[in-house]
Structure 1
Amino acid sequence: MFVGRSAELTALTEALARATAGEPQALLIGGEAGVGKTRLIEELHAVACAEKAVVAVGGCVEIGADGLPFAPFSTALRSLRRQLPDELKAAAEGQEDELARILPELGQSDRGALGEDGTARLFELTARLLERLAADRTVVLVLEDLHWADASTRHLLAYLFRALRRGRLVVLATYRADDIHRRHPLRPLLAELDRLRSVRRIELSRFNRAEVRSQLTGILAAEPDPALLEQIFERSDGNAFFVEELACSIGTGCSTGLSDSLRDLLLVRVEALPEDAQRVARIVAEGGTTVEYRLLAAVGRLAEDELIEALRAAVGANILLPTADGDGYRFRHSLVREAVSDDLLPGERSRINRRYAEVLETNPSLVRADERTTRLASHWYHAHDAAKALPAVLSAAVEARRRYAYSEQLRLLERAMELWDDAPEEVRGTLRPPDDVEVYPPCGGDPTSPPLRYLDLMAEVTVAARFGGERERALAISKKALRILEGEDGGKDPLRAAWFWIQRSRLTQDLTRGDGWQELATAQELVRGMRPSAVHAEVLAAVANWGALHQPGPDSLAAADRAVEYARLVGAELTELHARLTRGWLTADAGGVEEGIAEIYEARDRAVELGAAGILGRASINLPSTLESMGRSEEAVTAAEQGIAFTHRRGLADTEAWVRHNLAHSLFSLGRWTEADAVLDDTVELAQSHKPRGLIAGRRAELALARGDFDEAHRQVELTRSFFGTHDFQPQHLIPPARLAMCIAARRGALADARAEFERITEHGFPPGTRQYALPLLCAAASIEADTRGLPDADAGRAAVLTAIRLHAKRMPTLVPVWHAYGLMLEAELARAEGRMAPELWARAVAAFEATERPFELALVRQRWAAALLDHHADRAEAADLLVLAHTAARGLGARPLTEEIELLAGRARISIAPTPAGIRKAPGSAPDPDPARSLGLTPREQDVLRLVAAGHSNRRIAEELYISPKTASVHVSNILAKLGVSGRTEAAALAHRLRLFPDQAA
């Protein structure tokens, strides 16, 4: 009978109800061993099944160096596949090779698609698979024994708890609270999840006396004697499992002989079994969480009749249970398994593990293929046979790497390092790097290649630690490897040393210990003058990319050219594509706009062909960013939306966040600020690392400043700087926050602070290729000086600031229309700061901005031109037209400070700025738009949304089709309804059909 836990069961059933209503639920259930976690889950299982929910249970496995990678998820997904075969197939369509790393039955995983972003991609695809499965039915995913979870399982669970935003899904995990000591790897995760409001944690306490009485009544089928109740309650201390064990022991007449030792208590019923049954129990205890029947028969060496009789005795005594699939056996409670395992003699444990390993080597089909390598490695390791264990552990490490289980790979490789010196030389001489490992300097993967060296092992450890997020460990290993290279080889292996220096450069930047240049310079010096090689090409590509980020200009472009040349010579196509992305970006910055952008498109398309996710992710960031910096914002929006689709399908969540920031940037430039807001809201949930989070904060600061929320703008600027730090001067990360800080300080009347910020950011000048950040900053500085003319103490330092602005501006060629427009604005602002209103300069700036896609800047320069005309007592009608245009644009954008400036100027000049059709001057060159959708004021993205609205799609369906969130889709629909002047979706669809906006639909 089910005893107590009414409050806990109510909490679980309420979570089930919320999930059924479409709100995903995340729960953690903790409690000491034996307190009743599994029994509570069984009760929830019954309730869920009664409500037609689909329940899948997976348990963590205590095996291998740090558990079997993704074991509970593999088991649970396998269960979902049995229950929902067609639905899971449809949900995984197109991503089977990636998802096969967790559920091998889906297909053959792509062994070549390895890299730092692989884990994040796999996690995002898994989250989306579960969301799709739970779209039309309630799914309950239960993960038991989280205290045994491998690192990959812990990371995936944490990702799911954050990333699941839709679907009728309950994710529930259990763990032993008494096992979570201060250094237990689950402890940081629990602390992190406690901070998430979306995760509910339930702690199960021990039973009180009344609950123990109820439990004993169920076990004994009668009310317990008060003395017996008192004895069992005192001995068990309310632990449900101990209550049961004590009651059963009393039932067999062992009450007087019970030991006070917990282990002895747990072994009482095991020791009462026949000898063969005890032997089988010892073998099962050492075989892991579950042991397959055929494997047990081979290891036990019992005749089949004897084995079945022994198993019947163990099952009858409630010691062992058959597994759910009927293929094997497990202990009814893990505490008993641990007690039996702990009771083994050292030699006995080694012998049983050796027997397991020998049987698996002879007949690998006895266990599931995805578990075979890891289990074999574990058994040989615990058999204390270094000669057998080292190759097995290395094979398991390769398998973990192919599954993106980098943390498990790291633990296995560290175990291999431990075994290295104990393994015979003849064994080490037969080892070769696997053929899909790319981290070594070229040494091949075939039998003719040089044997695996300890340094090769260290190289793999370095990469596994970096990919697994343990960067401190990676840095320590890379430093140790370089000391070995310097001492052992006396510097005779420059390629290997250069490779380790590249790793140190990356790690130094990741850990905010510096900008990584000194390490790259060392690597570059090591390969200087050597024949082309893959390592040489990688060094050059890294140098070029570093230069593009820190010192864009001719030297960095030349390094990119050399990197492409060397990569082509040695056939390192992935390195070549990375270098081509860098070269395209730098070429466009240098003035070869069409050539550079074309190269980025080509590299992106080739990455799609190769399925190179890392390069594709980088291209998805670089292409819209480059287009935006060239003033091609509409094209940048299209490129960003394509990039979001690419990264979303491949599960590159952090990269998708970066691309979404780029989309928000271009939307801001185009004056689509509400859309930019919605994109940023969605992006916050995706961003995992500091840089995209810093970019998001910077974009929010830009919006807040333009809208007049200066406190929020200041907060976001500080947040941006906290994410980027000061250790690594990258113009794209430091110049825009400096401009925003200057403007905020000026708005608050702190001119000295604004000037100090300007002096600090311009101290080292602006490298070539940074004009897209520097020109707006110089315009802001000049505008601040112009706005403060005549203020007390403001004129003293103005001449020095203006001189500095002119000096920096002279070094910035304005090669594309948007840069040219900013150059003209800067010239006009400098004149205004010197006391010259110069209408002709503002007229040129207005004409230049009218040819760009920058409505905010256009409104600003129109206001400035109108002010200059009024100052010169020039044409008031023209000034009025300019103010009406500027005011209409500023109000439409929500740019409160600019709107107020325009209204103040119009009020002083006694000019009406009410927007009337007769009074609004058309922009030069404007003409009726032949496209009926565009003539209604709909943007290209709004046209896409309206097409789907007209087809009858819901917001969620629109979001899925266009790779946006339902919230963003809702914003678009609201904008469309407002622009069309209709009250609902049905009217909008009817109007679209009536006007034949989408002829293909009408047909």
Structure 2
Amino acid sequence: MEARGSVPDPVLVGRDAELAVLRAILERASGGDAATLLVTGDPGVGKTALVRGVKRLAGSVTELYGTCLPLTSLSVPFLALRSAVRNLSPDDGPPPPRVTDTTMNVPVLIDTWLDELCAIRPVVLTVDDLQWADQSTLDVLMYLIAGRVRRPLTILCTIRKDDSNLRLQRWLADIRRLPEITELVLQPLDRIATGEQMAKIFDSTPHQSLVDEVYSHTRGNAYLTRLVVSGLSANARHIRSNFPDDLRSAVLQSWRQLSPEARRLAQTLAVNGGPMSVNDLEAVSGVHDILPLLAEAVDAGTVDAAPNGTYWFHHPLIAEVLERSLAPDSSHRWHARFADYYEGKLSDGPGRIEVLVAVADHHDRAGHAAEALDWALQAAEEAGDSGGRPEMLRLLRRAVALRKELPDASASVHDLLVRLRAAADAAGAHEEELGAIEQLLENPDLPPLDVAEMLVRRMHLRFSTGRAFLSVPEARAAVDVARSDASSWQYALALAELAHAELWAGVDGASARAADALDLALSAGHPRAMSYAHSAMAMAVLFDQHNDAEAFDHASKGLEEAVDARDWWAYVHAASWEAHALETWTAQEFANHLSGRRERLSALNAPHTYLAYLSAEESSSRLAFGDWMTVLGGLRVVLGSDPGAVADATARLTAARLSAWQGHTAEAHAHLERADELFGDKSEFLALPFDAVRSEVALAQGNNTAAFDAALAGATFTGLPPMRCEWLVPLAASALANLIGEQRDAGQDPTDLIDQLDGFVAQFPAVIRHTGAGSDLYDRQCSALEALYAAEVARGRAHADLGIQWVNVADRFADARLPWEETYACWRAAESLLTRGHHHRDQAASVLRRGVDLSERLSADPLGQLLLSLAETARVPLGHVEQAGTSRLPEAGLTPREHEILDHVIAGRTYSEIARALVISEKTVSSHISNLLRKTGTANRVDLARFASRTLRE
């Protein structure tokens, strides 16, 4: 279908390669696979022209085109998306959802609506000039891009290169690590393509002297070329002599061709900061009968007329330059006039929020700080009600800054900060909330109990933003401040979180402190204090008494109190300890429990930050037992919007492990780098397995020294052991064994490394077990890791006959439900057995096939390739058993059982494997194979397999 609300197609030349990329993206989406293309480049390089080529490439699609605008201090929530859907007709499909709920639901509503559109025909959603996007638009796009991969949806985004936009850079860093993302960096046109562009504009071939001059000035920037040649005739040989070299003059070139009245009108439009209708522009400018002036501007290429009746500049740079070219006094007057006009235009109908934001923005630009403050507060309230929580926070932050310029304003800085903190808390915006609390704590007149509560919350926020792990001194400071009223809920809360921090630090008496905190919280009767106290008790009971049932009961009570208090940090904290009391974190029961708690949290309409936290923990758990496809979906949930530092880092570490196991080492390294960026502490952050993952990634990259150093850093922890501490010692031993093997292979003496291995074993005689963990499955997993540790040490010491030992390791990991490690052990077992001679061939073949099957299920390609290489070298057949595949051998007179056994023989299975598969003895298998040899006239199993395979092909 034809796009609605779009600008006319710009000239597009010299982009054959880029169009091929765009065409491939559209074809992939038309085939049912969602795809996203990010087109980045300098201003004016031709990004918009490229994506507007969709109409020529996509065929029958629903095209949604929205553009972001460079609003200055404030922004309109979902502006680009609103413009993209504003002109849809009923024939296009169901109407877009009305944005009236909280921000957390808006991405889901839009995603569901797009699913409905995609069911009718493929959809192409284009968001132009994403560098000016409001946060709500970015959140929705993140959710859509991270969403379903099987639907005919193409998302195209154009982005101006601007490294100073840190918010966009972080968004891009997250987007680039998602699957199905293609990025196209648009370079300037070369001289030949510049000439082709000019020929299109003139509809005639230009003189080469003109091409030379234009190219020397624009260097292939398509937009600047258009501006430079605007107004020139086709037979011109040179550009105008007064044409300046800098961007500002180039941008104003087309504007200067207008009449004085048209120029003044264009400047008025520029001050508005966004498209205007004829009536609005006429009313503000005071100029009557402006259509001829607008037509003049359109003809000059300065302004474009949109089908919805509004006018805006052909390129936003024109508006920027014109607005900035005004003298300060003149700019203030014009912004004041716009503020007055939009105040008079304010109504309760559609578009109210846009008008409110415009009023606040223009008052601010007019220098009316008091009015800007009042309108910003009103706009903030209504932005929150309309689903624009990010804009509400930004407005409130702006209000705080304005208030500091107005010492006599009625709203106090303290009250505004309290309001900002509450809004940030409700939205799960931890950075915003932490900033508000830091400013509030600067007030020396705060009541002590308020200070204590804020100190506790600051500790949580410093944790959740990756600044520091739970701090015992900070918790003690909160307790000391709250001690002024030892019967208060704030004192109970501070005491509970001191116990929490001390339990992690291994401080004596922490469990007794948790019990005291619970007594005080129950006495105070405050749900928030009771929630944290119950969770601290769950942790204490689990660590000291290993009483899973009692710990689960405390955590469950803490969760219910968190729901009553609507304290979502307390909720995820309690849910996590419920799961740990239920089963070890590598178990499916653990993951399923977190999934259920996450669903309940979603039903409670909690912010995405907390949903992401539980989803990230669940994904980490599911990866351990091999459910990696579900992990990919979980990671998309986490990154569907800003997840907060802890969830983000947890997801990155999980993604790094998955990428490392599946052979995508560059991606693994990138995920690990992102996790490192998020956190100030690494090894010290005990709740996240930084060192274990770093060691695994280094092993995957072949950097054994770095792998050993990382594992050793985690193993020599202080306080409680970190997450995945059980893996650290085996990982270090594996790295040392690899280093020793490298020296042996190079003909070097590995004595020093062997001595280092012996010293390591003396320092760590066993794997590290986590405090409080103690289920049967956990014990089996530790036993398997102990066996792995012993096998790696034996490998480093070059012990002979390690094959059976590695088979035992593989069997233990199978029993422990750790398939990634089982696959690795199968490879080591097959490798060892195949070097011991022909009499171990059957056992080697069996474990090799087992490893191949596991590697295929897990997509563990590096191990799979090693296993396949072993099979090829040792000539071990890996064919799958095709049931009843020999039914085409009736002339042989085979019985049904003989047909079954022949299927296994063709697949290369050994006597023992056939016996296990068919639940019969090896002696029975031998008897059946003797009959098969007799009936087919073959001499042995190899001849029998060849005969059957050849006959089947015929």
TM-score greater than 0.5 by the shorter chain: yes
- The DSSP-based 3-state class of the residue aligned with 1:67 is coil
Matched, 1:290 2:275: yes
User: Separation in 2 of the partners of 1:216 and 1:900?
Assistant: 72
Instruction: Please tell me whether the aligned partners of residues 463 and 470 of structure 2 are also in contact (alpha carbons under 8 angstroms).
Output: yes
User: Structure 1 residues 203, 127: CA separation in 2 closer, same or farther (over 3 Å shift)?
Assistant: farther
1:572-610 per-residue CA deviation (whole Å, 9 max, x = no partner) reads x56655654554454455444334324545665787899
User: Separation in 2 of the partners of 1:812 and 1:494?
Assistant: 34
C-alpha displacement of 1:127 = 5.6
- Residue type of the alignment partner of 2:312: R
User: Separation in 1 of the partners of 2:228 and 2:776?
Assistant: 81
User: Separation in 2 of the partners of 1:291 and 1:979?
Assistant: 70
State the match for 2:199 in structure 1.
213
What residue ranges of structure 2 are gaps of 5+ in the alignment?
1-8, 736-752, 792-806, 847-856, 858-879, 886-954
Q: What is the root-mean-square deviation of aligned Cα atoms in Å?
A: 6.6
C-alpha displacement of 1:719 = 8.8
Instruction: Please tell me whether the aligned partners of residues 39 and 159 of structure 2 are also in contact (alpha carbons under 8 angstroms).
Output: yes
State the match for 1:109 in structure 2.
101
User: Separation in 2 of the partners of 1:226 and 1:798?
Assistant: 75
1:280-305 per-residue CA deviation (whole Å, 9 max, x = no partner) reads 544432222123556446545x5xxx
Q: Which residue of the other structure, out of 343, 351, 354, is the alignment partner of 1:361?
A: 343
C-alpha displacement of 1:381 = 0.7
Matched, 1:20 2:30: yes
What aligned pairs does 1:269-668 form with structure 2 within 5 A after superposition?
Answer: 269-273=257-261, 280-292=265-277, 295-296=280-281, 298-300=283-285, 307=288, 309-315=289-295, 317-318=297-298, 321-326=304-309, 328-365=310-347, 368-398=351-381, 412-423=395-406, 425=408, 428-429=409-410, 431=411, 452-454=412-414, 456-457=416-417, 460=420, 482=441, 484-486=442-444, 489=445, 495-496=450-451, 499=454, 502-503=457-458, 506-507=461-462, 510-512=465-467, 515-530=470-485, 539-540=494-495, 542-547=497-502, 549-551=504-506, 555=510, 558-559=513-514, 562=517, 566=521, 569=524, 573=527, 576-577=530-531, 580-584=534-538, 586-589=540-543, 590-601=545-556, 621-629=576-584, 633=587, 635-643=589-597, 652=608, 655=611, 659=615, 662=618, 665=621
User: Structure 1 residues 542, 81: CA separation in 2 closer, same or farther (over 3 Å shift)?
Assistant: farther
Instruction: Please tell me whether the aligned partners of residues 60 and 149 of structure 1 are also in contact (alpha carbons under 8 angstroms).
Output: yes
State the match for 2:627 in structure 1.
676
Q: Which residue of the other structure, out of 65, 69, 72, is the alignment partner of 1:61?
A: 69
- Residue type of the alignment partner of 2:329: G
- The DSSP-based 3-state class of the residue aligned with 1:388 is helix
Which deviates more from structure 2 when the two are superposed, residues 645-654 or residues 542-551? 645-654
User: Separation in 1 of the partners of 2:731 and 2:50?
Assistant: 63
Matched, 1:137 2:137: no
User: Separation in 2 of the partners of 1:560 and 1:618?
Assistant: 18
What residue ranges of structure 1 are gaps of 5+ in the alignment?
90-104, 111-117, 432-451, 785-790, 833-854, 863-884, 917-941, 943-977, 984-1003
1:82-114 per-residue CA deviation (whole Å, 9 max, x = no partner) reads 66553756xxxxxxxxxxxxxxx24x324xxxx
- The DSSP-based 3-state class of the residue aligned with 1:499 is helix
User: Structure 1 residues 299, 603: CA separation in 2 closer, same or farther (over 3 Å shift)?
Assistant: farther
Q: Which residue of the other structure, out of 211, 234, 253, is the alignment partner of 1:265?
A: 253
Which deviates more from structure 2 when the two are superposed, residues 521-530 or residues 822-831? 822-831
User: Separation in 1 of the partners of 2:21 and 2:731?
Assistant: 56
1:926-984 per-residue CA deviation (whole Å, 9 max, x = no partner) reads xxxxxxxxxxxxxxxx9xxxxxxxxxxxxxxxxxxxxxxxxxxxxxxxxxxx999799x
- The DSSP-based 3-state class of the residue aligned with 2:64 is strand
C-alpha displacement of 1:523 = 2.2
Which deviates more from structure 2 when the two are superposed, residues 775-784 or residues 584-593? 775-784
> Number of residues paired by the alignment?
788
Using the aligned pairs only, state the percent identity. Answer: 20
State the match for 2:826 in structure 1.
896
- Residue type of the alignment partner of 1:416: A
C-alpha displacement of 1:720 = 12
Instruction: Please tell me whether the aligned partners of residues 11 and 200 of structure 2 are also in contact (alpha carbons under 8 angstroms).
Output: yes
- The DSSP-based 3-state class of the residue aligned with 1:205 is coil
- The DSSP-based 3-state class of the residue aligned with 2:230 is helix
Instruction: Please tell me whether the aligned partners of residues 289 and 330 of structure 1 are also in contact (alpha carbons under 8 angstroms).
Output: yes
User: Separation in 1 of the partners of 2:585 and 2:131?
Assistant: 53
User: Separation in 2 of the partners of 1:414 and 1:37?
Assistant: 33
State the match for 1:198 in structure 2.
182
User: Separation in 2 of the partners of 1:703 and 1:31?
Assistant: 32
User: Structure 1 residues 532, 588: CA separation in 2 closer, same or farther (over 3 Å shift)?
Assistant: same
- Residue type of the alignment partner of 1:525: D
C-alpha displacement of 1:52 = 1.6
Instruction: Please tell me whether the aligned partners of residues 65 and 125 of structure 2 are also in contact (alpha carbons under 8 angstroms).
Output: yes
C-alpha displacement of 1:216 = 1.2
1:760-819 per-residue CA deviation (whole Å, 9 max, x = no partner) reads 84775758xx9x9789999999999xxxxxx997999899869x979x99x989976557
C-alpha displacement of 1:526 = 1.4
1:651-693 per-residue CA deviation (whole Å, 9 max, x = no partner) reads 948855854654664785xxxx5x4344445556666577567
User: Structure 1 residues 424, 34: CA separation in 2 closer, same or farther (over 3 Å shift)?
Assistant: same
User: Separation in 2 of the partners of 1:727 and 1:74?
Assistant: 42
- The DSSP-based 3-state class of the residue aligned with 2:29 is helix
Instruction: Please tell me whether the aligned partners of residues 193 and 199 of structure 1 are also in contact (alpha carbons under 8 angstroms).
Output: no
Q: Which residue of the other structure, out of 241, 249, 258, is the alignment partner of 2:226?
A: 241
Q: Which residue of the other structure, out of 80, 102, 106, is the alignment partner of 1:72?
A: 80
User: Separation in 1 of the partners of 2:25 and 2:589?
Assistant: 45
1:532-560 per-residue CA deviation (whole Å, 9 max, x = no partner) reads 66755654564455455544997357548
State the match for 1:835 in structure 2.
none
Which deviates more from structure 2 when the two are superposed, residues 677-686 or residues 184-193? 184-193
Instruction: Please tell me whether the aligned partners of residues 582 and 589 of structure 2 are also in contact (alpha carbons under 8 angstroms).
Output: yes
User: Separation in 1 of the partners of 2:691 and 2:584?
Assistant: 13
State the match for 2:150 in structure 1.
166
User: Structure 1 residues 858, 158: CA separation in 2 closer, same or farther (over 3 Å shift)?
Assistant: closer
User: Structure 1 residues 720, 375: CA separation in 2 closer, same or farther (over 3 Å shift)?
Assistant: closer
1:588-647 per-residue CA deviation (whole Å, 9 max, x = no partner) reads 55444334324545665787899976666556644434322399x464353244356567
1:247-278 per-residue CA deviation (whole Å, 9 max, x = no partner) reads 49999xx98998994465333344344xxx66
User: Separation in 2 of the partners of 1:147 and 1:792?
Assistant: 56
Q: TM-score, normalised by structure 2?
A: 0.63
- The DSSP-based 3-state class of the residue aligned with 1:166 is coil
User: Separation in 2 of the partners of 1:33 and 1:704?
Assistant: 35
User: Separation in 1 of the partners of 2:164 and 2:341?
Assistant: 38
Q: TM-score, normalised by structure 1?
A: 0.60
User: Separation in 2 of the partners of 1:88 and 1:172?
Assistant: 19
State the match for 1:114 in structure 2.
none
Which deviates more from structure 2 when the two are superposed, residues 822-831 or residues 601-610? 822-831
C-alpha displacement of 1:54 = 0.6
- Residue type of the alignment partner of 2:290: A
User: Structure 1 residues 646, 209: CA separation in 2 closer, same or farther (over 3 Å shift)?
Assistant: same
- The DSSP-based 3-state class of the residue aligned with 1:529 is helix
